[in-house]
Each structure stands twice: as C-alpha cells, then as structure tokens.
Amino acid sequence: MSGAPGEAERQVARVLARARHIAVLTGAGVSAESGISTFRSAAADMHALWKEFDPRTLATPEAFADDPARVTRWYDARRIGCLNAAPNPGHLALTTLQRALRSRGGDLVVLTQNVDRLHHKAGTQGVVELHGNIVTWRCTRTGQSIEPPPEPMPRFPAPSPFHPEGLLRPNVVWFGEALPTDAVVAAEEAAGACGVFMAVGTSSQVFPAAGFIQTAMARGAVTVEINPESTSISDLVTYSLKGRSGEVLPRLVGTAA
C-alpha cells in the first residue's frame, strides 16, 4: 500500500498495537545508524562494504583457505568495530515492542542477518542469528569456540588455542555455507506463526533469509518493509515505509524522542 508516508506509518502503528505475534527480519541497515557499514546500497553517498571489497575474496570458505591472514585481518577489524558499537533507537524500539507483546501474551521474534550482536546489547530476548556472529570465533580443526579479548588480534592468521594446526575463524556464515539448522527452523516457525512480518534494513537479496517473508505471505501475514531505498520486495509488501529504521521504528512504537 502506498500513499502519504504519514498515513501509512499511522496504519502500521495501529497494526503493531493490535498484533500478538510479530516476526522481524533485520539486516545491515538496522545497524547503519550505529556506525556499522552495510554490504550493498544503491545510493551513491552511502558506504557499503561490497562497493569497496569483493565478497568472493573475503566472505567465502575458499577465500579463507586461499589467504587466511587477509581474511582474518579484515574480520578482526570489523569485530573490534562491532564490540565498540552501541545499539541505536531502532534496536531499542524493537526491544520495547517485544516487551509490550510479551506483557499481553504475544511475542516478537527478531531474525537477524547481522553478526554484530547489537540486538542482544539492546536487550532483545531470543534473537535468532541467521548468519552467526563476529564476536565468537572457532577452531578450524576442532570446531571449539572462544570469545577473543576485545583488543585487535596480535597475529594473522590467528592460531587456535585448541589444536596445534588449527586456525581461528569468525563464527559467521560465509557464502556457500549452510545456515545453522536451529536458526533456520526457528525462522520458518516464526514466519509461519506471525500475524505481522517486518523486513527492516535488508536488501532482501541473500537467501535463504530473504525467502522467509514468502512463508509469512503464504500464511496471510501483514507484511511491512522499512528501508530508505526500494528493494525487490517493496512492491510485494502490504506497507513499504521509506525511511531509516532508527527513526521510523521509534515513531511506530511510540519511543521517539
């Protein structure tokens, strides 16, 4: 549905106020206002990682096998950026909405593609991490995970403390790798059970995450997109709200300053 942004927003606010089960798929745009780069953006003035770097040389298992030092250095710099970042009003509005729904016997499930842990920092409970996280790293030989200290790593690649021949790699999901099964099951369940599905700050280009909205649509859920740019789902959703999530979400939830 289009129309004046103000009216569409008011309608979505009413939908949210009446909803009992909401699923929210979040992407890098939700963290943009916390200073974390997105991956893709059509806007010429917006920084996006894949405009600067080729994902095939950084975000694939083949890239890590080919040059583990280069990949580790890049991910470690991003890890430090995420550790130093704080949630923005968009993250906090989702936490407020989750608490409101839980207090009336419903729930809000955040399905995030983000690896930055900012939804956790904002206090949202039960966050489903579809693409893992950048805060914990695992041994390539044993699979054991650790949380490296909050300073830049001293060596690239990073030797594993668990195996003499192992390396540490971030617990993120690279292209060609399977998403964690429990996260996919939880996401399908939340998308299938919700009355409202929101896609916030995602380009909806990466699968299987971008497909969960189809599950919600097939079950008749009201669908909402929040994004300053148009995406492949903008014409498919019930409401497409054009704007920054750190501004739109607080207005929808009533936490705007």
Residues that bind ligand BJW (CB under 6 A): 27-29, 32-33, 38-41, 48, 59, 113, 115, 131, 172-178, 201-203, 205-208, 226-229, 231, 244-246
Alpha carbon distance 128, 171 (integer Å): 14
- DSSP, collapsed to helix, strand or coil, labels residue 202 as coil
Q: Residues of 56-84 as b/e, b for ≥16 C-beta within 10 angstroms? A: eebbbeebbeeebeebbbbbbebbbebbe
Q: Which of 21, 91, 120, 131 is catalytic?
A: 131
Minimum gap (Å) between residue 244 Cβ and ligand BJW: 4
Nearer to ligand BJW, 102 or 145 (CB): 145
Query: Minimum Å distance from CB 12 to ligand BJW?
Result: 15
Report the nearest approach of ligand BJW to the CB of residue 104 (Å).
27
Neighbours of 6 (CB within 10 A): 9
- Residue matched to tokens 């929101």: 198
Map residue 231 onto helix, strand or coil.
coil
**Could you tell me the smallest distance in angstroms from the CB atom of residue 179 to ligand BJW?**
6
Residue (56 or 141) nearer to ligand BJW, CB: 56
Q: Please give the Cα distance from 192 to 214 (Å, whole number).
A: 9
Burial of 21 (0-12, 13-18, 19+ CB in 10 A): middle
Buried b / exposed e over 95-129, threshold 16 CB at 10 Å, is bbbbebbeeeeebbbbbbbbbbbbbbbbebeebbb
Q: How far is the CB of 38 from ligand BJW (least distance, A)?
A: 3
Nearer to ligand BJW, 168 or 173 (CB): 173
Residue whose C-beta lies closest to ligand BJW: 29
Q: For residue 241, which of 19, 56, 74, 7 has the smallest C-alpha distance? A: 7
| Torsion sign, CA atoms 224, 225, 228, 231 | negative
Spatial contact of 193 and 215, defined as CB atoms under 8 Å apart: no
Answer yes or no: 119 catalytic.
no
Q: How far is the CB of 40 from ligand BJW (least distance, A)?
A: 4
Is 103 or 207 the residue whose CB approaches ligand BJW more closely?
207
| Tokens encoding 164 | 């003499």
Among residues 175 and 218, whose Cβ is nearest to ligand BJW?
A: 175
| Residue closer to ligand BJW (CB basis): 108 or 115 | 115
> So which residues are the catalytic ones?
131
